[in-house]
Structure formats: C-alpha cells, structure tokens
Amino acid sequence: MTLHAVTHLNFHGQAREALEFYQSVFGGQLTIATYADFGMPAELPGATHVVFGQIVADNGFRVMAYDVPGQHAPTTPAAPTTRRENGTTITGEPFFLSVRGDSVDEVTPVWEGLAEDATVIEAFGPAPWAPAFGMLTDRFGVTWIIDVAAEHTQA
C-alpha cells in the first residue's frame, strides 16, 4: 500500500486561477471539476467554482484545491505577519507548503515562478542549513518554503 500526503488548499472563488498558476510553475496534469459538473444548476451563483481540482506532476509535485461552498468575495491575501523572537523571524501562518529539490538548479525556476506578485519573507539563497532556501507568500495567500535537501548531521 502506498500513501501520499497531498496539500488541499481552500479558496473563495480563486481555485481555478490558483491551480492554473501552480501548473504554470510546476507543470503536470491539471484536473478541474466545477459544482455544475456535479449537478448544480448552471444559473446558480458559484456553479462555475471548483469543487475538485488537482495538479499531479511527473516531478512528484501534487496539490489539490477547491472553492469553499457559498457566496464569497475573493479574498485578498494579507501580508504575512512576523515577529522577532530571540533574533529569529517567525511568521504567524498556521502552515507552510514546502517544496524541496535535490539541486539549486532544480528549485530556482520554482522560486522564480512563485515569486511573481508574491511577498518575499526570506530571500532565496544559500542558508546555513541548506545550499538554497527561501520563503514567500504567493498572490493567493499561500506561504511556500523552497529549498534544497541537505544532509543533516547530528551535533
């Protein structure tokens, strides 16, 4: 048996736009089904919203998304909150989406794609724990960590 933990993102009318953007960054097969596809009358508000969406890429990237039911205005992402604690920047976000590659060359295009219209929290570059690391909040309000896997040695 094989298990995959797949991030499922919740939007308010922006799921299609977000999934299409993520596909442009990561590639892969995009699947979108709307509420109308599952029987909601087309004339009802929200019928064109995404009830099931996913991207599955050959490089291992997977994400799912949908539009939360109900009438909602698209949300405008707020800038990520940070606070200083013992000299370390910490965000107030409840989770991050992490994309980890084997080389700087592999993850640099991912960083560059996600950085379009994003708020950079930590600039992409070498870090004490990895050959490359960066953190940003994209234009949909999702906070991403992009880094290169590095061998961790116990102290």
Kindly list the structural domains of the chain, giving each domain's residue range(s) and its CATH number in brackets, ordered by start.
7-67 (3.30.720), 82-148 (3.30.720.110)
Mean pLDDT score of the chain, rounded to an integer?
Answer: 86
Question: For residue 22, what are the CA distances in angstroms to 71, 133, 141?
Answer: 24, 19, 13
Query: Left (φ > 0), alpha (ψ -120 to 50) or beta: where does 86 sit?
Result: left
3-state class percentages of the chain: helix first, strand second, coil last, to nearest 5: 15, 40, 45
In this predicted structure, the answer to whether residue 112 has a pLDDT above a threshold of 90 is yes
Looking at residue 15, its pLDDT comes to: 96
In this predicted structure, the answer to whether residue 88 has a pLDDT above a threshold of 90 is no
In this predicted structure, the answer to whether residue 58 has a pLDDT above a threshold of 50 is yes
Looking at residue 149, its pLDDT comes to: 85
- 121: helix, coil or strand? strand
Beta bridge pairs of residue 125: 133
In this predicted structure, the answer to whether residue 132 has a pLDDT above a threshold of 70 is yes
Compute the average pLDDT of residues 8-22.
95
Question: How far is 17 from 63, CA to CA, in rounded Å?
Answer: 14
Query: Left (φ > 0), alpha (ψ -120 to 50) or beta: where does 60 sit?
Result: left
Looking at residue 84, its pLDDT comes to: 45
Looking at residue 94, its pLDDT comes to: 66
In this predicted structure, the answer to whether residue 131 has a pLDDT above a threshold of 60 is yes
Compute the average pLDDT of residues 8-36.
96
In this predicted structure, the answer to whether residue 1 has a pLDDT above a threshold of 60 is yes
Compute the average pLDDT of residues 117-133.
93
